């Protein structure tokens, strides 16, 4: 960048506005990734198109280079070394269709806790020379706190001849003598688990946090998100971290299942205008820090994703809240309500209304997922009676009839009792009832065009085809090695004399009155039907009388009554 010829040299000084002294005394930006975010945000405000963050393992330093408009000596004194100077709202538009990120003039201090020395080399567009400064961080940051309580004129600068063309701008920041605990990010080993970023390696964690905080684009693999949040007039920023381009994090479920967009919209709360998207992989989101909605202002992450205090203020656990993620972009407003550390907003009436809006949204989706899980569980229990159920499950998932994975629903393999039993009906009728809720109609056929097919999904016409004469759809109970088919009385003939069952032992068919009160018992319906069939078989062979049969059933009902 420079040829080493010194044009001018001297000293510059830090100037600190009194309004931020108290904040500096307790320290800011305790997280290294957030500190890097501040330097990248400065590059964004300098109208950079590209930022490259590189780890120099041999020299143990971190280098941040951008192609923004750059700075001369006066700019560095006024913009970088004057701490706490608030940017007026009239200067928020900066060019390239962007709004200014930095407002408080403290971002450059963010990296002080993590290194012992900072070198900065910058060339301003339209000028021929570059300026270089060196800062001995230990003079300003001691014992975990800043000591910028007066003007300190001991920052060396040099104006040197630049090798860059006059029309080019560039800024390079070198963090040297990186603190030992930060050097861990140079190790690219894999973490043991991805359930939390605390279980990532330091490199993985830093990369994830940068992708969460920085003003990045969504990748081309997420076109719906990219299009929804893009601003046509705004030139985006591209960032590379140790040679890899970074894109916005998109939450995933376990087994790397991608998230779906389940809701999007725009809302206003007084002067606040937002765009939002709610995502879900219909599984628990990993890492857990991705759960909730990420608020962004000028594309920069404000803190980590939040649930807007929904659990604390609703007073109950929302079981499917860990399935939800998304983004909330502040399009307008809140310029004066951002906290100094840029991790949250002051709680105004408008902010309160926005929080209440998203508490309602998260509560609604939790309730919806709870109901969907119950419906899916019923489908799985029905399909578990069929052969080749995996193929049917796959088809049902592909068209959205099933949303949840079976292993997330805790379906018992052989249930003995049911506290909440559905009314008895044929398998085909149960499927009919469930798929109709999913927007599919049922068409019945007598014969399958493929001999092994019992159920088929037609995606084009949104129909589920059921081949009624397929053996798989015939409900059966095996008693003493004999299979007896189960049907249900559709003409209500059995209801007339309050009978439970009619047994055709010759054709091995048992027809049940599905509305009989005996099925209100807490026992599994299969156990009840098997017991009733055995009694009828005994009655058929005259081993017991019909009157005895009724007495036994009455005693059976009394023994297993819910009361």
Over residues 311-367, the pLDDT tens digits come to: 777 666 778 899 999 999 999 988 777 766 667 788 889 999 999 999 999 999 999
Which of 452, 473, 494 delimits the end of a domain? Answer: 473
Better-predicted residue by pLDDT, 537 or 378: 537
Claim to verify: residue 82 and residue 45 sit in the same structural domain: yes
Q: How many residues does the chain have?
A: 563
Instruction: Name the strand (E) or helix (H) holding 44.
Output: helix 32-45
193 and 271, same domain (yes or no): no
The residue among 38 and 194 whose pLDDT is bigger is: 38
455 and 493 part of one domain:
no
Residue 69 lies in a domain: yes
Q: Is residue 175 domain-shared with residue 96, that is, in the same domain?
A: yes
Contact of 499 with 506, CB cutoff 8 Å: no
Q: Which domain holds residue 539?
A: 475-563
In whole angstroms, give the CA distance from residue 355 to residue 350.
Answer: 9
* Calpha distance 106→100 (Å, rounded): 14
Residues 112 and 201 in one domain: yes
Mark whether 52 and 112 lie in a shared domain: yes
> 25 falls in which pLDDT band (50, 70, 90)?
very low
Q: Which residues pair with 176 in a beta bridge?
A: 117
Q: How far apart are CA 271 and CA 268, in angstroms?
A: 7
Q: Do the domain assignments include residue 98?
A: yes
Beta-carbon contacts of 362 under 8 Å, excluding residues fewer than 6 positions away, are 293, 307, 308, 310, 318, 321, 324
231 in Cβ contact with 217 (< 8 Å): no
The residue from 213, 240, 262 where one domain ends is 213
Phi, psi of 499 (to 5 degrees): -75, 155
Spatial contact of 148 and 83, defined as CB atoms under 8 Å apart? yes
- Is residue 479 located within the same domain as residue 553? yes
* 118-158 residue pLDDT tens: 999 999 999 999 999 999 888 877 776 666 655 556 788 99
Residue 368 resides in a domain: no
Summarize pLDDT for 434-481 with one digit per residue, the tens: 778 778 888 877 665 555 677 888 888 888 888 876 767 778 888 888
Residue 162 DSSP label: E
> Is residue 49 domain-shared with residue 132, that is, in the same domain?
yes
Q: Do 281 and 177 sit in the same domain of this protein?
A: no
For residues 33 and 141, membership in a common domain is answered with: yes
> Rounded to an integer, what distance in angstroms lies between the CA atom of residue 212 and that of residue 31?
13
Q: Evaluate whether residue 410 is within a structural domain.
A: yes
Clarify whether residues 418 and 510 are in a common domain: no
Q: What is the total count of domains within the chain?
A: 4
Are both 353 and 260 inside the same structural domain?
yes
């Amino acid at each position: 960048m420079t040829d080493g010829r010194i044009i001018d040299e001297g000293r510059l000084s830090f100037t600190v506005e009194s309004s931020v002294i108290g904040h500096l005394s307790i320290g800011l930006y305790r997280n290294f990734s957030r500190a890097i975010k501040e330097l990248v945000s400065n590059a964004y405000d300098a109208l950079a198109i590209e930022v490259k963050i590189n780890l120099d393992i041999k020299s143990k330093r971190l280098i941040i280079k951008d192609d923004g408009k750059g700075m001369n000596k006066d700019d560095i004194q006024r913009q970088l070394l004057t701490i706490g100077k608030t940017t007026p709202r009239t200067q928020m538009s900066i060019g390239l269709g962007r709004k200014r990120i930095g407002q408080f003039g403290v971002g450059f201090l963010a990296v002080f806790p993590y290194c012992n020395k900072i070198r900065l080399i910058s060339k301003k567009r339209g000028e021929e020379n570059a300026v270089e400064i060196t800062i001995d961080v230990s003079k300003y940051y001691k014992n975990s706190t800043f000591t910028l309580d007066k003007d300190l004129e001991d920052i060396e600068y040099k104006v040197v001849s630049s090798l860059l063309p006059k029309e080019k701008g560039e800024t390079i920041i070198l963090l040297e003598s990186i603190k030992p605990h930060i050097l861990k990010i140079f190790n690219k080993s894999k973490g043991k688990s991805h359930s939390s970023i605390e279980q990532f390696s330091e490199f993985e964690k830093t990369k994830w946090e940068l992708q969460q905080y920085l003003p990045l684009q969504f990748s081309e693999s997420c076109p719906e998100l990219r299009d929804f949040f893009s601003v046509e007039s705004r030139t985006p920023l591209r960032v590379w971290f140790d040679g890899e381009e970074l894109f916005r994090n998109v939450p995933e479920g376990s087994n790397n299942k991608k998230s779906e967009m389940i809701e999007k919209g725009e809302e206003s709360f007084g002067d606040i205008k937002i765009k939002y998207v709610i995502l879900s992989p219909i599984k628990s989101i990993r890492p857990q820090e991705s759960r909730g909605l990420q608020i962004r202002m000028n594309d920069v992450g404000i803190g980590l994703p939040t649930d807007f205090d929904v659990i604390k203020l609703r007073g109950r656990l929302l079981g499917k809240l860990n399935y939800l993620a998304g983004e909330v972009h502040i399009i307008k407003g809140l310029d004066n309500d951002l906290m100094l550390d840029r991790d949250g907003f002051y709680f105004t009436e408008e902010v309160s209304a926005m929080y209440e809006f998203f508490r309602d949204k998260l509560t609604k989706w939790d309730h919806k997922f709870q109901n969907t899980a119950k419906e899916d569980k019923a489908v799985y229990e029905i399909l578990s009676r069929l052969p080749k159920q995996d193929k049917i499950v796959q088809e049902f998932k592909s068209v959205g009839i099933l949303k949840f994975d079976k292993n997330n629903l805790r379906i018992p393999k052989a249930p003995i009792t049911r506290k909440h039993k559905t009314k008895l009906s044929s398998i085909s009728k149960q499927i009919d009832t469930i798929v109709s809720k999913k927007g599919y109609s049922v068409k019945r056929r007598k014969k399958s065009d493929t001999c092994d097919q019992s159920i088929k999904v037609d995606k084009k016409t949104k129909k589920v085809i059921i081949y009624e004469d397929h053996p798989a759809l015939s409900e059966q109970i095996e008693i003493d090695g004999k299979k007896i088919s189960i049907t249900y009385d559709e003409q209500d003939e059995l209801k007339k004399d309050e009978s439970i069952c009619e047994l055709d032992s010759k054709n091995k068919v048992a027809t049940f009155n599905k509305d009989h009160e005996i099925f209100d018992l807490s026992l599994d319906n299969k156990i009840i039907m098997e017991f009733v069939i055995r009694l009828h078989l005994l009655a058929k062979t005259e081993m017991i009388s019909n009157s005895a049969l009724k007495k036994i059933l009455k005693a059976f009902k009394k023994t297993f009554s819910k009361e």
